[in-house]
Amino acid sequence: MRRLRELIIPGVDKSLLVRDAVKLMPELSRRRFIAGGASFGALTLLTGCNVIDSDSADALLAQVSKFNDAVQAALFNPNTLAPTYAESAITKPFPFNAYYALDDAPDVDGKDYRFEVTGLVDNKKAWTLDELHALPQVKQVTRHICVEGWSAIGSWTGTPLRDFLKLVGADTRAKYCWFRCAEGYTSTLDMPTALHPQTQMTFKFGDDILPRAYGYPMKIRVPTKLGFKNPKYVIGMEVTNDYKGGYWENQGYNAFSGS
C-alpha cells in the first residue's frame, strides 16, 4: 500500500475523474459521496484503485461502474448494516493480507495468549483464550474490502464487541477503542463503530478456529470499515479518549475509513 494523498498523476485531471465517477455511481453511493465532499482521496479509497496514469484512471471508472450500492453505503454510513451473504458466496481461498508475507505472520501460542483490556473500563483484565471462547458467539458472512483493490466474502464467528464492552464495564462515552496486535500492528475504532452490532471479536473463520493467516487467535472484524481497520492477532484493547492512530491510519489512510 502506498500513500494516496500526494500522488501526482500525469495526464489525469482529478476533478474530471471525480465528476465521471459520480455519474457512474448508483444512487445511494452517489448521494453519500457528494455529501462527503466528493474528493479524489475518498474516490481512491472507495474503489481501492491507486491512480497513477490514465490507464489506472480508466480502471477506477470501471470499478465504479461495478459498485454494489449496499456495500458502499455501509462503508459511508456507520449506522447502516453491512450486507450479509449466503455461505455459497464465500470466496475460496480467502486472501491473506498484511504488510509482510504469510511466512512472517505472528505465530501466537494459544496457551500463553492473553487479551489485555485496559483504559476506561471497570474490569481491567487479561483474558485467556478459554475465557474468550466461552462467550456467546454469532456467525456473519460479510464482504471484506481492502484499499489495495480487492474484496472478498468471508465467514467470521465470534462475540459482538459491544456485548464484550458491556461485560467489561467500558465507558462507552469514550471516543475510541485502540487495538494492539502481536507483531506491533495497531488500529483505532471510533466508539460508534466499536458498538456497531456487526463489529465482532472473531475466533473462527468458517467453522474452524481462526487460522494463523487470518489472525489467530483473535481478530476484530468490522464489516462497515475497510480491511486495515480489522486488526488481526489482537493482544490488547484500550478504551480511551486519546486518538492513538494506527499502522495505516498514521500513513494517511484515515480520511474515509472512519476516524
Binding site for Mo ion (CB under 5 A): 146, 227-228
Report the residue number, 30 or 225, with the smaller CB distance to Mo ion.
225
Question: Residue 122, exposed/middle/buried by CB under 10 A (0-12, 13-18, 19+)?
Answer: exposed
Residue 97, interface with ligand MTE (CB under 6 A)?
yes
Q: Among all residues, whose Cβ is closest to ligand MTE? A: 227
Which residues from 173-232 bind ligand MTE, rule CB under 6 A?
A: 181, 183, 185, 213-214, 227-228, 230-232
Contact stretch for ligand MTE (CB under 6 A) within 2-10, 93-101, 121-129, 188-196: 93-101
Q: Which residue among 99, 104, 107, 126 contacts ligand MTE (CB under 6 A)?
A: 99
Q: In this structure, what C-alpha cell is assigned to residue 102?
A: 504469510
Q: Say how far apart CA 112 and CA 106 lie, in whole Å.
A: 14
- For residue 181, the partner it binds in Mo ion, ligand MTE, none, with Cβ less than 5 to 8 A by kind, is ligand MTE
Residue ranges of alpha helices (H) inside the chain are: 14-24, 27-35, 40-47, 54-65, 69-76, 129-133, 161-167, 191-194
Identify what 59 binds: Mo ion, ligand MTE, none; CB under 5 to 8 Å per kind: none
Shortest spacing between CB 106 and ligand MTE, in angstroms: 7
User: Beta-strand (E) ranges in 98-248?
Assistant: 115-119, 125-127, 138-146, 150-160, 176-181, 186-190, 200-205, 208-209, 219-221, 234-240
Q: How many residues can be counted in the chain?
A: 259
Q: Which of 12, 21, 98, 194 binds ligand MTE (CB under 6 A)?
A: 98
